[in-house]
Amino acid sequence: MNVSAIIPAYNEEKTIDNVLKVLNSSSLVDEIIVVSDGSEDATADSAQEYNSVITIDLLHNRGKGGAVIAGLKRSKNDIILILDADLIGLTEQHVQQLLKPVSKGETKMAIGVFEKGRVATDFAQKVAPFLSGQRAMKRELLENISDLDLTRFGIEVALHQYVDEHNIPTVEVQLPDLSHVMKEEKLGLWKGICARAIMYFEIFKYVLRVDSLTKKNK
């Protein structure tokens, strides 16, 4: 199995090591790429402690879409695994579960959904599983979506719309006991709420842009 793991990260020095330890010990992943997306902390330094990890240190924040594309350009494999850098409880079994449907040719994209982790994060993903940042997919999906680097936090929506429009089946994979650090925990209540509002605004803005282009092309 030839798998490239891409980890987009913005100021995740406190948590990224938990993710890299698991990926570094996994026999299923043969390339790990961390994209520090204009981080102002030691995220890039933490990644560089692993000799096996390719670290891309972007000078300016490009958003998740731009970070993923930067990692994709450096990657070499046909199967791409995308994981958030702030995961809590990631195990090799989670990685295996997420990769299995794609590696066996059962689907072109598997979407990881938290289960029995924490109430707040579990609920959010049950409401909108298509916004999950944990995915395994064929490289072609990322390459076939135009301007993916401009989507910022809208990358998951872009992927969802693409597979929906092209009738590409996807699989949801339950990831038990996995969660992530919420923005309100990282930044404090009010800064976290503001950061979450900005994220949802960027997603909404991307959706409006796609709708506008769709109507224009009809």
Task: Provide the domain limits for residue 141.
Answer: 3-182
Task: List Cβ neighbours of 45 (8 Å cut-off, separation of 6 or more).
Answer: 13
Determine, yes or no, domain membership for 196: no
Determine, yes or no, domain membership for 9: yes
Determine, yes or no, domain membership for 204: no
Strand 31-37 relative to strand 53-58, pairing = parallel
Determine, yes or no, domain membership for 210: no
- Please name every residue paired with 55 in a beta bridge, in sequence order, or none if there are none: 34
What CATH number is given to the structural domain containing 16?
3.90.550.10
Model confidence pLDDT, tens digit, residues 4-51: 999 999 999 999 999 999 999 999 999 999 999 999 999 999 999 999
User: What would the two tokens of residue 88 be?
Assistant: 């809590």
Determine, yes or no, domain membership for 85: yes
Model confidence pLDDT, tens digit, residues 170-187: 999 999 999 877 655 565
Determine, yes or no, domain membership for 198: no
Determine, yes or no, domain membership for 203: no
Structural domains of the chain, count: 1
Model confidence pLDDT, tens digit, residues 124-180: 445 455 578 899 999 999 999 877 766 565 788 888 888 988 999 899 999 999 987
Chain Cα centroid distance, residue 61:
16
Give how far Cα 147 sits from Cα of 51, 143, 152, 162, Å.
32, 10, 10, 12
Instruction: Round to whole Å and give the CA distance between 206 and 145.
Output: 13
User: What would the two tokens of residue 218 be?
Assistant: 């009809």
Determine, yes or no, domain membership for 127: yes
